[in-house]
């Protein structure tokens, strides 16, 4: 199987979902509250790895903003375009198919960069380093990222996530990475289990039968379902130890810093 075939299958599994990763509208609103951006006017925010746009829609509802919603997958952006139209938010959300490694924004042009469950594609440190230049001095970074919730973890959990995502770490370690890269942390919270189970894993499990029927008999499709089921069971056994942390930070380290 080629990489393109694998991507096509992943898009087929995820395009009919409200979310392509753990999260929740309430939690996006909490991050908005912590960001301090509610009273600002005429904001320009990029939502990176937006998928079908769950967080972009909340940002457009909650703030006086234009959201540039960026994803590599045009099929996801089409779903967001439709949803934005239906919600009367199409003037506020502009979808852009682009790679997060080379964002199509001028330096110092964004009031905030949002990214839920997507920065792992670049790696947390590489992502925050490369995105910083696009933020105005004092601009806000809001990202959710796989995080250890305890200082000691069961071996099966360590093994799986260290292999899948070597940058998995505790919140204090992630915050230290932010501080070392020109950001001042302003907020942190962990997503509740509901964001994984009710909002992400259970709806995905409900799509497995249709996914297998559309793509079967296919060893590749079956392997994707088996891998997801393994990850879901692992999460269910270990939800006390691993989750998504939501990190809010301000671009700092600039002379003559102005707040947005």
Interface residues toward ligand SAH, by CB under 6 A: 19-21, 23, 49-51, 54-55, 71-73, 76, 99-101, 116-118, 121
Nearer to ligand SAH (CB atom), residue 80 or residue 249: 80
C-alpha dihedral over 246, 247, 248, 251, to 10 degrees? -150
Report the residue number whose CB is nearest to ligand SAH.
51
Rounded CA gap, 123 and 22, in Å? Answer: 17
- Which of 45, 16, 10, 12 is closest to 28 using CA atoms? 45
Nearer to ligand SAH (CB atom), residue 71 or residue 111: 71
Nearer to ligand SAH (CB atom), residue 13 or residue 249: 13
Q: How far is the CB of 54 from ligand SAH (least distance, A)?
A: 5
Partners of 95 in the β-ladder? 69
Q: How far is the CB of 19 from ligand SAH (least distance, A)?
A: 4
Q: How far is the CB of 105 from ligand SAH (least distance, A)?
A: 13
Looking at the chain, list the stretches that DSSP marks H as alpha helix, in order from N- to C-terminal side.
Answer: 3-14, 25-35, 54-62, 74-86, 124-131, 155-164, 171-180, 193-196, 202-215, 219-238
Q: How far is the CB of 200 from ligand SAH (least distance, A)?
A: 8
Nearer to ligand SAH (CB atom), residue 95 or residue 215: 95
Rounded CA gap, 4 and 37, in Å? Answer: 39
């Amino acid at each position: 199987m080629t990489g393109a075939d694998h991507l096509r299958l992943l898009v087929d599994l995820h395009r009919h979902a409200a979310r392509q990763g753990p999260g929740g509208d309430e939690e996006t609103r909490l991050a908005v509250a912590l960001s301090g951006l509610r009273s600002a006017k005429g904001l320009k925010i990029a939502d990176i790895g937006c998928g079908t746009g769950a967080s972009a829609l909340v940002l457009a509802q909650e703030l006086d903003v234009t959201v540039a919603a960026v994803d590599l997958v045009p099929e996801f952006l089409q779903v967001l375009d439709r949803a934005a139209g239906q919600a009367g938010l199409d003037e506020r959300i502009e979808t852009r198919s682009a790679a997060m490694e080379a964002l199509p924004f001028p330096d110092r042009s964004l009031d905030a960069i949002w990214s839920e469950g997507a920065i792992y594609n670049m790696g947390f440190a590489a992502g925050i380093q490369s995105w910083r230049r696009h933020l105005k001095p004092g601009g806000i970074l809001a990202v959710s990222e796989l995080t250890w919730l305890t200082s000691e973890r069961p071996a099966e959990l360590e093994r799986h996530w260290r292999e899948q995502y070597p940058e998995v770490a505790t919140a204090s370690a992630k915050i230290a990475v932010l501080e070392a890269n020109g950001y001042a942390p302003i907020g942190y919270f962990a997503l509740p289990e509901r964001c994984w189970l009710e909002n992400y894993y259970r709806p995905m499990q409900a799509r497995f039968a249709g996914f297998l029927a559309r793509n079967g008999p296919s060893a590749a499709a079956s392997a994707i379902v088996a891998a997801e089921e393994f990850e879901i069971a692992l999460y269910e056994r270990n939800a006390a130890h691993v989750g998504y942390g939501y990190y809010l930070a301000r671009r700092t380290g600039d002379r003559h810093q102005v707040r947005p």
